[in-house]
């Protein structure tokens, strides 16, 4: 199964960005761990700070399942939400922090309704849990 992991804005800074919230592991390092643990999956990763680039990547439709952390786009990108609505493949939204324990504006996801599941607050392990959910 080909799984595409997409991260939105500022998640290129994982490992250095607010380590008390997001931890100290970079996505590059964590992705290697995931590839080792889930060697039966083809894991692909894409990150962009630009909404349209994320939509363009999603519309390539060259994956079997999707794990997406839209970052700040979670809270206001109806364009990404509409794009997700048109994807008829397994989709899991992941948030490293518990968005419901953060600022009020972060507590609403406009994208979640167009995914099959949401994982929030499990740290980087949310990506691992999302892959596990795809195994069943």
Closest CA to 43 of 57, 71, 63, 13: 63
Nearest to 10 by CA among 122, 95, 112: 95
For residue 74, give both structure tokens: 């979670």
Q: Is 30 a catalytic residue?
A: no
**First vs last C-alpha separation in the chain:** 12
Exactly one of 30, 78, 95, 127 is catalytic; name it: 95
Which one from 22, 46, 75, 100 is the annotated catalytic residue?
A: 22
Residue 95 annotated as catalytic: yes
Instruction: Using DSSP bridges, classify how beta strands 42-47 and 65-69 pair: parallel, antiparallel or unpaired.
Output: unpaired
Q: Report the side by side order of strands in the sheet with 42-47.
A: 42-47, 2-7, 65-69, 91-95, 117-120
Residues involved in catalysis = 22, 95
């Amino acid at each position: 199964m080909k799984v595409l992991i997409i991260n939105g804005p500022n998640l290129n800074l994982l490992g250095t960005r607010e380590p008390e919230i997001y931890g100290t592991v970079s996505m590059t390092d964590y992705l290697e761990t995931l590839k080792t643990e889930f060697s039966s999956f083809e894991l692909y990763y894409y990150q962009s700070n630009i909404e349209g680039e994320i939509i363009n990547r999603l519309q390539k439709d060259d994956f079997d399942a999707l794990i997406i952390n839209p970052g700040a786009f979670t809270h206001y990108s109806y364009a990404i939400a509409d794009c997700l609505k048109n994807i008829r493949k397994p989709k899991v939204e992941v948030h490293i922090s518990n968005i419901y324990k953060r600022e009020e504006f972060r507590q609403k996801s406009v994208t979640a309704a167009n995914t099959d599941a949401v994982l929030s607050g499990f740290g980087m392990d949310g990506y691992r849990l999302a892959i596990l959910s795809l195994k069943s």
